[in-house]
Amino acid sequence: MSRRRGSTIIALSIITIIAFLIIVSMASIIISGMSDLLRTQLNVFDEETERMRENIEVEAFSSGGKIGLCINNTGTTTILITYVVVHDVSSDDISIYNVMWALDTGEDLTEILEHEYPSPGSMVKCVLVSSRGNTWQITIKG
**Residues in the site for another protein, rule: CB under 8 A?**
18, 22, 25-26, 29-30, 33-34, 36-37, 40-41, 44, 82-83, 85, 87, 92, 94, 96, 98, 125, 127, 129, 131-133, 135, 137
Which H or E run includes 86? Answer: strand 79-88
CA of 102: how far to CAs of 35, 64, 129, in Å?
A: 33, 24, 12
Report d(CA 39, CA 16) in Å as an integer. 34
Which H or E run includes 126? Answer: strand 123-130
- Rg over alpha carbons for the chain, rounded to the nearest Å, is 30
Q: Minimum CB separation from another protein for residue 112, in Å?
A: 20
Q: Which is nearer to another protein, 2 or 65 (CB)?
A: 2
Q: Minimum CB separation from another protein for residue 3, in Å?
A: 10
Q: Which is nearer to another protein, 83 or 101 (CB)?
A: 83
Report d(CA 73, CA 92) in Å as an integer. 30
Q: Which is nearer to another protein, 58 or 85 (CB)?
A: 85
Q: Minimum CB separation from another protein for residue 72, in Å?
A: 21
Q: Name the maximum alpha-carbon separation found in the chain.
A: 107
Q: Minimum CB separation from another protein for residue 91, in Å?
A: 10
Report d(CA 35, CA 41) in Å as an integer. 10
Q: Which is nearer to another protein, 36 or 108 (CB)?
A: 36
Q: Minimum CB separation from another protein for residue 135, in Å?
A: 5
